[in-house]
Structure 1
Amino acid sequence: MEMNVKSKLSAILMLTLLLNAMPVNAASLGIWPINPRIDVNESATAIWIKNNDRRPVMLQIRVMDWHQNNGQDETLEQQSVIASPPMVRVNPGEQQMIRIVHRHGNIPENTTERSHRIFVDEVPDSRLEGSEDASLKLQMRYSLPLFSGVGNKGRNIPKFLKSNTPQLTYRITGDEEKYLEVDNKTGFHARLSQVKAIRPSGETLMLSDGLLGYVLPGQQMRWELSDQQARFIHGTDAQIQFTQEQTEIYIAKVAP
């Protein structure tokens, strides 16, 4: 039976991988690519894991469905997309390929992307139990997105989002605490990085100079604003601008 595993991804111990073109090193591991996809008419993709530490690591790799509810990321166990192998030992300085496989064959083309999260968890080494090292050992979780089911390699998702900005809208919600709520009515994910608010006068305020987060296809996501940010946006027709794959995309304020 499938079981809901609800968690606020920002609240669990994990490293979200942000860069686009190179392996990401956090703690002892490098993992790449950090934006994998399974394209239409393909049944698998691959990620690579390199152990940069001086000790071997045992890793568990899982793929879960990813959706958003009430402004929070949630994951759901599933068995259609799996990691092979699901458990692996990587020795110091070595690297391991993990295949991410759609068990039912080639991915059919859908009108909406499927969204998943790949979790790579470091498994405790039982040989360290009871030792001084065990009390100092911090088990890490690594997480990266996986999308599938819309378009083939070369499809330019940022270009599509840019040409469909009326389907990307925002509003300010909340009473004492203010939130930026973004609604994505397109069939593609929006990856919000280098986010800024721009007033009609041209005055600009940076909201996030790194990765703010994702808004999945057909879903809503929200982020808390500081008092300064809320005041800057409130009562104006400011646009929200973000960057995805070096493309600047605007989000218009939804009509009240």
Structure 2
Amino acid sequence: MRHIRSVLMKRLLTATLLPASFLATASHASTVVIWPVDPILKPGEQATALWLENKGDKPVTLQVRSFDWAQPQGDDALTPQNDVVVSPPIAVVPAGKRQLVRIIRRDPAAAAAPERAFRLLIDEVPTQPAAGDPAAASARLAVQMRYSIPLFTYTADPGAQKVALVARTIATGDGRVVEIRNTGTLHARLTDLRVVLGNQERMIKAGLSGYVLPGATVRFVIPGDAAGVVKVGVNGVDQTLEPAT
């Protein structure tokens, strides 16, 4: 179990840890472990579990919110919604303890598409220093962290859904970009975006490059002299993308 949590924490830090604000070096910062980092709700499931663990030496207050996630212009857009809710929305997790948060889908059969995307934002809420605490003289000790993890819900078997990506390299006013479009019914988690030039691969963006949701198109800026076939990890499997027509 310790090894599994270590792996999950590594994935979280490399993929989904987003600093919301840093006012100073954190002398009292907690260490929060969140798992699973890729929760889903399968067809017919109404709820799933999200665990928050405080590995620090002081209590931490965490707020959990759920948002609808879309990519209307290629950029992530989060919108408040009530189809998926969390309980409890705010939790105080003591040092060395963990808290169960339930992710609840109100109507498992309501979505029209087989897959729907959400984002869970977990914010560490700064606590006010106690009266008389020397830290009270400086608000710079307040530190907030934001963790953002994807949530996908399904009304049909996720194993039957497919990713269908096409790519093209185009010139824009901001330079050359790789444009990747997903015409399938399943999201694509993109890693290690490369351009193949002859027998050589040129890395454009190492590690997690981003997501492209069904029906969406995303763009990545590339060097002006880079052109060729696009190669990228798609949900853990390398793919060479066919040019768009």
TM-score bracket, shorter-length normalisation: 0.7 to 0.9
Tell me, what secondary structure is at the counterpart of 1:47? Answer: strand
The alignment status of 1:212 with 2:217, answered yes or no, reads: no
Q: CA deviation at 1:63?
A: 0.4
Quick one: structure 1 residues 151 and 244, their matched pair in 2 at CA, closer, same or farther if it must change by over 3 Å? farther
Counterpart of 1:13?
Answer: none
The alignment status of 1:224 with 2:218, answered yes or no, reads: no
CA offsets per residue over residues 58-113 of structure 1, 9 Å max, x none? 11100000111322111100011011111100011111111110022x34675441
CA distance in 1, matches of 2:77, 2:243: 26
- Picking from 228, 240, 252, the partner of 2:230 is 240
Q: What residue ranges of structure 1 are gaps of 5+ in the alignment?
A: 1-18
CA distance in 1, matches of 2:71, 2:105: 22
Counterpart of 2:20?
Answer: none
CA distance in 2, matches of 1:244, 1:126: 44
Q: What residue ranges of structure 2 are gaps of 5+ in the alignment?
A: 18-29
Counterpart of 1:61?
Answer: 64
CA distance in 2, matches of 1:91, 1:133: 24
Conserved in 2, the CA contact under 8 Å of 1:180 and 1:223?
Answer: yes
- Picking from 42, 46, 50, the partner of 2:45 is 42
- Picking from 126, 142, 146, the partner of 1:137 is 142
CA root-mean-square deviation: 2.6
| One-letter code aligned to 1:198 | V
- Picking from 70, 73, 76, the partner of 2:73 is 70
Counterpart of 2:27?
Answer: none
Conserved in 2, the CA contact under 8 Å of 1:195 and 1:241?
Answer: yes
CA offsets per residue over residues 176-212 of structure 1, 9 Å max, x none? 432222111111111110121123x332111122001
| One-letter code aligned to 2:203 | M
The alignment status of 1:182 with 2:180, answered yes or no, reads: yes
Quick one: structure 1 residues 20 and 213, their matched pair in 2 at CA, closer, same or farther if it must change by over 3 Å? farther
| One-letter code aligned to 2:240 | Y
CA distance in 1, matches of 2:221, 2:40: 29
CA distance in 1, matches of 2:78, 2:157: 25
Tell me, what secondary structure is at the counterpart of 2:62? Answer: strand
Counterpart of 2:167?
Answer: 169
Structure 1 length-normalised TM: 0.77
CA distance in 1, matches of 2:172, 2:226: 15
Structure 2 length-normalised TM: 0.80
Tell me, what secondary structure is at the counterpart of 1:178? Answer: strand
Tell me, what secondary structure is at the counterpart of 1:22? Answer: helix
CA distance in 2, matches of 1:20, 1:144: 17
Q: What fraction of aligned residue pairs are identical, expressed as a percent?
A: 29
Tell me, what secondary structure is at the counterpart of 1:204? Answer: strand
Quick one: structure 1 residues 119 and 128, their matched pair in 2 at CA, closer, same or farther if it must change by over 3 Å? farther
Q: How does 1:79-94 map to 2 (within 5 A)?
A: 79-94=82-97
Conserved in 2, the CA contact under 8 Å of 1:169 and 1:184?
Answer: no
Conserved in 1, the CA contact under 8 Å of 2:57 and 2:95?
Answer: yes
| One-letter code aligned to 2:31 | S
Tell me, what secondary structure is at the counterpart of 1:221? Answer: strand
CA offsets per residue over residues 2-30 of structure 1, 9 Å max, x none? xxxxxxxxxxxxxxxxx995234666111
